[in-house]
Amino acid sequence: MSRGVFRHLYGPVPSRRLGRSLGVDLVPFKVCSYDCVYCQLGRTTNKTIERKEYVSVHEILEELKEKLAVEPFPDYLGLAGSGEPTLHSRLGELIAAIKGITNIPVAVLTNGSLLWMPEVRDALMEADLVLPSLDAGDERLFQFINRPHRDISFEAMVDGIAEFTSRFSGEVWLEVFLLKGRSALPFETQKIADLARRIAPSRVQLNTIHRPPAEDFVQPVSNSFLLGIKDLFSGRVEIISESEQAGTSDRLPSDVQEEELLALIGRRPCSAGDVASGLGIHINEALKQLEQLTAAGKADIVVTAGQPFYTATSERASPRAGEMDRYRGSCQSDFWQNVFRAEIDYLSKQLAGARTVLSVGCGPALIEKGLSEIGFVVTGLDVSKEALDQAPDEVRTVVAPAEKIPLDNASFDAVIFVTSLQFVEDYQRALQEAARVLSAAGKIIVMLLNPESEFFKTRFTDPGSYVSKIRHVDLKAIEQVMSRDYVIQTEYLLGVKGKTVFQSSEKSEAVLYVIRGTKRTPARELNP
């Protein structure tokens, strides 16, 4: 085996929690007991609780001996990698053997899902540090965020972490991973804090998304939010923040092999700084090699929070084929046809006097087709080319994000968002763009899904429902933002019970909350 090319080791990688950690991969890619919505490795391909020797303990130890013989010692040996490490049936033997060949502390990064099994707790007893996760405060949110194997219950998982922590002689650092609008809601965070107090780890580490997640509808919380909730948790509490590493430049570029770099970015998305620090090269050399991999089609770039991350092309899933076809098929049901007719009827009345209409986030433009058939000149805008490819010929289409509309100022009589604004990442910017393309005193209609309705509540925590991908649930906040540029009115609309659609203005049963109004005239135009 040539130096630097290893099947089961990767890095060292710069870790926000462990410094420079040499990764030890104990299971094949995405063999896991969870399928977390925020996972930086993408969707789980083999969700299981079957414990077996997925990779050879002998091979791991031989690679480790070779690696440690020629390279500077890392801060930790991190047993983690491409899936859940406690699924490896010989984990305890491996830890004991590692302790026999090196004094580097052994850390096990686990989701904690299998600690209800006595054999898993026993296997971890010789580790120096164990880092389990707690991402939810009850079964409902646990199912939504972690999407566990069917044989793992929330109660058993929490009990297992608590039992292990009470017996373990090393340190337990409990990671609490928070998502905006989900686990970061005040009452959800309090439930997690109460459970963390019961578990009593050595420290609690508050974390959020820093790398491209498995599902694009999940969003990070701010560092200030994490600081604000810190006092909810007892004991030692840390905020885990992202920092760019520049690299130590202690290796020559010729020492870094392509397989080594791909092994690093294939196991998790990395910035150029991550690669530089992990491989001990200058950041400019890291960028050069990453650009070469990208040009060769061996790496992809994924942008998260404005920062580019590199990932091996073979490790990230492509969009699900036929998803748009399935969506269009479901829209043909009697239920959705009734919903669409009611929405078109409402819009046609409120748009009276307008001729040109921009629909932002139109998808395959089914509503827009109905509006065009009754005389409106409709332009549909969506970020998905696949969706717009299926739009009807009567609707002009534009592929673009809602936050950056490539159309002229004052070019529309009306702008509508038909249950689309809540999915837009920067909805404030989208509303500003809508005001820009509206003519003087132009109309705006924003249809929002009502979080108080049973329709919403039953779907928001269902990972298979489009409603679960909503980013913004605070309707009053949206209303306040709209009032800056528009004179507005609000109303509840369209009741749904089961498959029945009916007129209703009751907050508890109306599916839609509508904010409509006209564009404000700037003060300088009123007082020239």
d(CA 424, CA 291): 30
Mean pLDDT of the chain: 85
Distances (CA, A) of 505 to 58, 185, 416, 496: 68, 27, 20, 11
Q: Domain count for the chain, please give it.
A: 3
Whether residue 3 lies inside any domain: the answer is: no
Structure tokens at 101: 């060949």
Give tens-digit pLDDT for 454-489. 888 888 777 667 788 888 888 999 999 999 999 999
Note the pTM of the prediction, 2 decimals. 0.57
d(CA 152, CA 164): 16
The reported pLDDT for the residue numbered 229 is 93
Whether residue 61 lies inside any domain: the answer is: yes
The reported pLDDT for the residue numbered 442 is 94
What band does 50 get if pLDDT is binned at 50, 70 and 90? very high
Domain region containing 304: 244-318
Buried b (16+ CB within 10 A) or exposed e, 210-242: bbbbbbebbbbbeeebbeebeebbeeebbebeb
| pLDDT at residue 258 tops 80 | no
What band does 393 get if pLDDT is binned at 50, 70 and 90? confident
Residue where a domain terminates, one of 216, 243, 270: 243
CA atoms within 13 A on the CB side of 249: 5
Give tens-digit pLDDT for 26-38. 998 889 999 999 9
Mean pLDDT of 193-200: 97
Q: Count of residues for the chain?
A: 528
The reported pLDDT for the residue numbered 501 is 86
Mean pLDDT of 388-407: 87
d(CA 232, CA 269): 31
Output the CA torsion 154→158→163→168 (10° steps): 130
Residue where a domain terminates, one of 295, 318, 341: 318
Whether residue 499 lies inside any domain: the answer is: yes
Q: Are 448 and 513 in contact (CB under 8 A)?
A: yes
Residues 6+ apart with CB under 8 A from 47: 32, 33, 34, 35, 147, 149
**Is the domain of 169 the same as that of 295?**
no
Residue 277: which CATH number?
1.10.10.10
- Bigger pLDDT: 150 or 20? 150
**Is the domain of 285 the same as that of 415?**
no
Give tens-digit pLDDT for 266-311. 766 777 777 776 676 776 777 778 877 877 777 777 766 556 777 7
**Paired residues of 78 in beta bridges:** 23, 107
- Bigger pLDDT: 13 or 221? 221
The alpha carbon of 330 is separated from its chain's Cα centroid by a whole number of angstroms, namely: 26
**Is the domain of 308 the same as that of 364?**
no
**Is the domain of 303 the same as that of 446?**
no
**Is the domain of 358 the same as that of 435?**
yes
Residue 36: other Cβ atoms inside 10 A: 22
Residue 45: which CATH number?
3.20.20.70
Structure tokens at 68: 């440690």
**Is the domain of 38 the same as that of 23?**
yes
**Is the domain of 171 the same as that of 231?**
yes
Residue where a domain terminates, one of 275, 295, 318: 318
**Is the domain of 300 the same as that of 329?**
no
Whether residue 4 lies inside any domain: the answer is: no
Please report the DSSP string for 471-522 in residue order: ----HHHHHHHHHHHEEEEEEEEEEEETTEEE----TTTEEEEEEEEEEPPP
Quick one: which of 12, 8, 32 has its CA closest to 83? 32
Whether residue 426 lies inside any domain: the answer is: yes
Q: Are 84 and 29 in contact (CB under 8 A)?
A: no
Would you give the DSSP letter of residue 452?
A: T
d(CA 494, CA 510): 5
Burial class (CB in 10 A: 0-12, 13-18, 19+), 100: exposed
Structure tokens at 523: 């003060």
Residue 430: which CATH number?
3.40.50.150
Mean pLDDT of 35-49: 88
